[in-house]
Structure 1
Amino acid sequence: MKKYIYTLCLLGVIVYSCKTQQATKTAAEATVVTANPNNEEMLKGEVLYNQRCGRCHDLPKPSDLTVEHWKPIMASMAPKAKLSAEETNWVLAYVNANAKN
């Protein structure tokens, strides 16, 4: 009976870890931003930036960095913040709209 329970637990861990890796890859690959994000998307991006990105470290002001600086930052940090592809686009649209010229 114990072997059966251990086997089910191990199988659950394997399935969960595969699912987590798949979601992380999709968020990391999402760096395409719509050409003209609307106000709702910008607001969602700002909220996500403050909540998800700010929970682990102090946030730089979006205007402290250029658009070119934000691209690799978002590519590396979005998976750590567990942002979906859509959420990544919202945050990237927010920081890009407020980035230094």
Structure 2
Amino acid sequence: MKIKIIAIILLGTFIYSCSPKVVQTQAPKVDGVPLTPELAEGKVIFESKCAKCHDLYSPKDFNAEQWKPIMLSMQKKAKISDQEREKIYAYLTK
């Protein structure tokens, strides 16, 4: 009897682990507004690259003109390409 129960538990665990996972398909939102795919990519790059070394600033902490020199100075330190920098800048100044 114990063997049957263990076999059923193992079979259930196997079936559950092989079932498809649910993936979120909604666009990320900032301030309740959905982001475009480009802005969402900029947000992901910003959060992954910039958070490695320091706390993240809010995009509202600086205006578009203030973000330009910050982005240029941090590009080399964060090892991001020009395209990545532009995507981050677009996200920060949306």
Task: Please indicate, yes or no, whether the TM-score normalized by the shorter chain is above 0.5.
Answer: yes
The equivalent residue for 2:62 is: 65
Q: Percent identity?
A: 42
- For these two proteins, the number of residue pairs brought into alignment is 60
**TM-score, scaled to structure 1:** 0.57
Larger Rg: 2
In structure 1, runs of 5+ residues without a counterpart are 1-37
What do you get for the CA RMSD once the two structures are aligned?
1.2
Determine the C-alpha separation between the residues in 2 that align with 1:40 and 1:81.
Answer: 22
Deviation at 1:41, TM superposition (A): 1.0
**TM-score, scaled to structure 2:** 0.61
| Structure ranking higher in helix proportion | 1
Deviation at 1:79, TM superposition (A): 1.2
In structure 2, runs of 5+ residues without a counterpart are 1-34
The equivalent residue for 1:56 is: 53
- 2:93 aligned to which of 68, 83, 96: 96
Q: What is the DSSP-based 3-state SS (H/G/I as helix, E as strand, rest coil) of the residue aligned with 1:46?
A: helix
Q: Which has the higher contact order (CA 8 A, sep 6+)?
A: 1
| Structure ranking higher in strand proportion | 2
